[in-house]
Amino acid sequence: MIVRISSTAVLEASLNAYVEHVERNEIPSYVAASGLVSVWLLQRRFVAYVEVMTLSLWRSEEALTQFVEKRPPLDSAQVEHHGIRLEPRLYNLVMSREGALRDPDVE
């Protein structure tokens, strides 16, 4: 499996609008992609910016390549919110484990 991490830093004042854009326009394209296992949207604050990170898990590098080739090269929301897109990074997933259920009240 392949993990792809892509992120954009946006001004803190633009965070809510940018996240809404990502949830409405970008995440559905991930979900509809063949070969996607899962996708997460994360954020981390630093100085006057917030890094909005999309972490996605793919069944194969071929599935990821097909997805990336269909995406437009420049996101208009990135320009609108003065976002700074960071270079995507790819990782091979070596191991994954689920945590043990520790709360007896949660099933």
pLDDT digits (tens, 9 = 90+) for 34-84: 999 999 999 999 888 999 999 999 999 999 999 988 876 555 555 566 678
Tokens of 42: 């994360």
5 close to 89: Cβ distance less than 8 angstroms: yes
Residue 55: strand pairing partners: 5, 40
Which residue from 50, 69, 53, 67 is spatially nearest to 11, judged by alpha carbons? 50
Check pLDDT > 60 for residue 88. yes
**Which helix or strand (DSSP H or E) is residue 68 part of?**
helix 61-70
**Single pTM value for the model:** 0.80
Give all domains of the chain, ordered by start, each with its CATH number: 2-92 (3.30.70.100)
